[in-house]
Amino acid sequence: MKSNSWKLFLTLFLILISFLLITPLEDRSLGEYALSQVTSEANASDHIGHESFSEVIENLQNQIGEDEVIDYGKLRDYGKSNRLDYAAFFSPPEGMLGTIGSRILPILIKPGIRVSHVKDRDKRNDLVLRTLLKNSQAAIKRGLDLRGGIAFTMEATDLNQTDELTESGATPMDKVVEIMSERLNAFGVAETVVRKKGDRSIEVQIPDRTTKQDPGIIEELQKPAKLEFRIVNVNADAPIPVQEGEEWTDDEDIPYVSMLRSDSQPNERPIWVRRLWSADGEIIEEAAPGPDEMGGWEVRLDFTNEGAKIFADLTSDIAQMADPNTGALGRLAIVLDGQLESAPTVRERIGGGSAVITGNFSYREAKMLSDILNNPLKVSLVIGEKYEVSPTLAAGALDSSLNASILGAILVIAFMITYYKAGGMVAVLSVGTNVLLVIAVLAGIFQATFTLPGMAALVLTVGMAVDA
């Protein structure tokens, strides 16, 4: 008996580790989970009203509205705009005993997040939020057929134009995968899958979303976000656009093209914008949403050092283009993906290193536009295959598979105990431990995604183990 006691303790230890690896069983709200993991109320910010993390959550919720869910993107932007250092709220325990204790009993000793090696505050915040997001998600990841979502492929149509390796050795499609991942993270979508599929395509899986709930998500991901700054012709001798029916036509011999603003009124006439851009999105260092003076939202642009000089010189040239005969001021056209977003007047050289894109934006629209501008594409993408599974159907499939598995397990257990008595009980415990270990290794170590075929394979494993 003594010689076998170590086997019992080893088995119990493995079972305990397995339970720790497969928990939590359900996703938790990022905001609520982050509140539960706070280790310190210290705040590195001098801003009043953010002395505790609970105040951060409360202020953010008031800003975005009670109906909005606090996600990774909103927390990241809020921390950036208020210069908060999230790492101060999640300080790890000090000393070796505290570190070991937090690893063994994280429920009793909160582990915190170690990011002291990262010097940049925004990068530190990003790492903290990514860690919290990952830890807030269920350990057992379900595929689209068990939780619902969208899956589609995108194919690059003009890859030959940029078909060269980057300095790091990455291909253009590697860069597309990276940009798509960044856009999805910025949109606050968790547990997405973005991977290459062949030489010209990528596959994207977005769980828990449908095109009915979020009709524009695929189109927003697909946008190249090609931003251009162009000069508007405000002179009295500017050519007059010709209207044929409901369409405005242009003379290709004229170096200007007529454009209407994206939020133009029905009777609004187009303005003449230079065909060639004077500056593009490369001069932007960062874009972020911000409130405007009218209570709406705008997109604020911060330029690189070189970009600030280019923009200042451009606005200086435009300011000198004012028409003395009509008194019309020079105007700068901001064009995104071929669509005129705004055309503000320019009175003088703008050398502050920043600018804004105005429009009738909601917070969501300004946020999405900012995220897209921060991650522009250099290739055009078209949608290939697409399918989606509604959360209702996925929940039904999950319930059916679980019910079938439970019923099958009950029948197997009843047969084994009835036919083999004590030996059957030992076999049932062995099979149960085997299944638990398999799930723990797949979910906790290999981060595998469980699908309906995978669950069927697991049931088959039980059958083979019983037969053995």
Domain residue extents for the chain: 28-136, 149-224+381-389, 227-366, 395-467
pLDDT at 208 over 60: yes
Closest by CA to 19, choosing from 441, 462, 440, 458, is 440
pLDDT tens digits, one per residue of 64-108:
888 888 888 788 888 887 888 888 888 888 877 777 777 777 777
pLDDT band at 253 (very low <50, low <70, confident <90, very high): low
The model carries a pTM of: 0.63
CA distance 293 to 302: 19
What pLDDT shows up at residue 305? 92
Torsion sign, CA atoms 372, 375, 381, 386: negative
CATH assignment, 149-224+381-389: 3.30.70.3400
pLDDT at 165 over 60: no
What pLDDT shows up at residue 161? 45
pLDDT band at 248 (very low <50, low <70, confident <90, very high): very low
Average pLDDT for 160-171: 54
What pLDDT shows up at residue 48? 60
Average pLDDT for 320-340: 84
Q: Which of 39-43, 114-118, 150-154, 407-411 has the highest mean pLDDT?
A: 150-154
Average pLDDT for 287-299: 84
The amino acid present at 5, given as its one-letter code, is S
CATH assignment, 227-366: 3.30.1360.200
pLDDT band at 307 (very low <50, low <70, confident <90, very high): very high
pLDDT at 431 over 80: yes
Using CA atoms, how far residue 124 sits from 119, 127, 131, 135, 436, in Å, is 7, 5, 11, 17, 36
